[in-house]
Structure 1
Amino acid sequence: MTATGVIASMCLLGMTQAQAQDNNRITLGAVAGTTGVGADVAWRFSERLGVSARYTGGLDWSTDYSTDDVDYEGDISLAAGKLTLDYYPFASGFFLSAGVMLPDMDANVVGRPRNDTYEFNGRTYDAALLGTLNGTLTLADGVQPYAGLGWRQSHRSGFGFFTEVGVMATDVNVSLSTSEGYENLDNPFSAQLRSDIRQEERRLEDEAKKWPVYPVAVIGVSYTF
C-alpha cells in the first residue's frame, strides 16, 4: 500500500471511530417536574435512536375536593419511573419518546359532611354515627403507557439543558371506609351501608376519570459523555 493509501486508510478509520463515538453517547441528567425530582439517563446508540430511563419522586401536597354534601381533604404523593425508546428525527437534540411509566400516585383522603348527614346512593346516614370517611384515591400505579417529546443534548458531549413534556394514562381507583367501621359488621344495616359506600367510590372514580391522562413535564440539566 502506498503512503497515500495508508494516510487515507488512517483518516477513514479515524472518521469511522469518531462517528461511532458520536452515535454511542451516554447522557445523565438531574430533573424536576410534575412527577417530582430525580434523575434521567439516556443511551443514544445511533444517530436517530436511543433508550432512556428516569425516576422522579418526593412531590407531595394537600388539596380539597367537595361534592354536594361531603368535603374531602387529600394528601397527595407522587412518584414515577419511566422507560422509553427515543427517536431523534433530525439527528439533533429534539426527540420523540414512547414507552411505559411505572407510577406510584395516590392520595390519603378524609371526608367530612357539609351538614349533619351523609347521603350515599340516595340514602341518608347520620354523620355522628358513621364518623369521617377515610380512604385512598389511587391516580395511577402498575405499568401505564406514555408518549412525549423533548430536547436532550445527546448529539454532542458536554453540559446542556433537558426538557420533556408528555402524557401518561391514568387508572383511577377509590377505596373508602368510615372511621366507626359499621360497614364491617354482619347485619342488614351494615350490608346496605357497605353497598352505598361502594356507590360513593364509583361516583368519585367517575369524576376523576374525566381526566384520562396525567400531564408529565420535566426540566433540568444534563451532561453527555
Structure 2
Amino acid sequence: MTATGMIATLCLLGTTQAYAQDNRMTLGAVAGTTGAGADLAWRFSERLGVSARYTGGLDWSTDYSTDDVNYDGDVNLAASKLTLDYYPFTSGFFLSAGLMLPDIDADVVGRPRNSTYQFNGQEYPADALGTLHGTVTLADGVQPYAGLGWRQSHRSGFGVFAEVGVIPTDPDVSLRTSEGFENGDNPLSAQLRREIRQEEQRLEDEANEWPVYPVAVVGVSYTF
C-alpha cells in the first residue's frame, strides 16, 4: 500500500470512529416527580443532541384545609417532553431546553369544617349542599421546559441518568356541589354560584404561590 493510500485509510478510519462517537443512541429507565417511564436520546454530535421522555403513573392522596372547608385530593401526574440537549464539556453533563406536555391535576372532595359551609359570612347547611367536588389542575398543555443533567451518552455501555428542571404552572380550579344546589333559580342559588367562583379563585391564588413545578428524575441508561 502506498503512503497516500495509508493516509487515506487512516483518515477514513478516524472519520468513522468520530462518527460512531458522535452518533449514539441512549435508552434509559427513569423515575421521579412526574412518575416512572423511559428516556430516549440521540446525540448526533459531540455537543448537541435531542431527547424525548415520557413518565406517568404517579398517584397519591393528600389533604388541604381553608378556613371553612377540608379538602381531600387524589393527585395524578404524567408528563412527556421533547428537548434539545447541549453538552458543553463533550462529556455526560448537559443543558436541556424544549417543550413539556404535563398532566398534573387532582380530583378533590371538600367537606365543611363545621356543620355548615360558610362563604363570605353566608352560611349554607351541609345537608342541602352535600360535598364539594372538583378538579384542581396545576399544569396542563404544552409548557416550556429548562433543565440540566447527566447522561452517559459519550461512551457505550450502561450508565446512570439524572436530570432536574422546571416548568411553569398554570393553576385552574373547578368546583361544584354534590346536590347541585347552585344550579337552582332562586336568589340563594345565584349567590352560592358566586361564592363557589370566589372559592375557586382563592384556591387558584394560593396555588399561584408556586409559579413553577420542579421536575427531577433519576435512572439507569444504556448507550448503543
**TM-score, normalised by the number of residues in structure 1:** 0.97
1:119 and 1:215 mapped to 2: Cα distance? 35
Q: CA deviation at 1:43?
A: 0.6
2:127 partner SS: helix
2:120 and 2:197 mapped to 1: Cα distance? 9
Q: Please list every run of 5 or more consecutive structure 2 residues that lacks an aligned counterpart in the other structure.
A: none
> Percent same amino acid at aligned positions?
75
Match of 1:219 in 2: 218
8 Å contact from structure 1 (residues 94, 152) kept in 2: yes
1:104 partner SS: strand
CA displacement, residues 92-126 of structure 1 (integer Å, 9 cap, x when unaligned): 00000011110111100000111112122342212
2:144 and 2:122 mapped to 1: Cα distance? 39
1:87 alignment partner AA: Y
Q: Please list every run of 5 or more consecutive structure 1 residues that lacks an aligned counterpart in the other structure.
A: none
Q: CA deviation at 1:21?
A: 1.3
Match of 1:56 in 2: 55
8 Å contact from structure 2 (residues 82, 99) kept in 1: yes
1:31 and 1:136 mapped to 2: Cα distance? 28
1:198 and 2:197 are equivalent in the alignment? yes
Match of 2:18 in 1: 19
Match of 1:73 in 2: 72
8 Å contact from structure 2 (residues 86, 94) kept in 1: yes
Matches within 5 A, 1:46-195: 46-195=45-194
1:140 alignment partner AA: A
1:164 alignment partner AA: E
1:90 and 1:192 mapped to 2: Cα distance? 62
CA RMSD of aligned residues (A): 1.0
1:5 partner SS: helix
Q: Displaced runs of 4+ in structure 1, greater than 3 A?
A: none
8 Å contact from structure 1 (residues 98, 146) kept in 2: yes
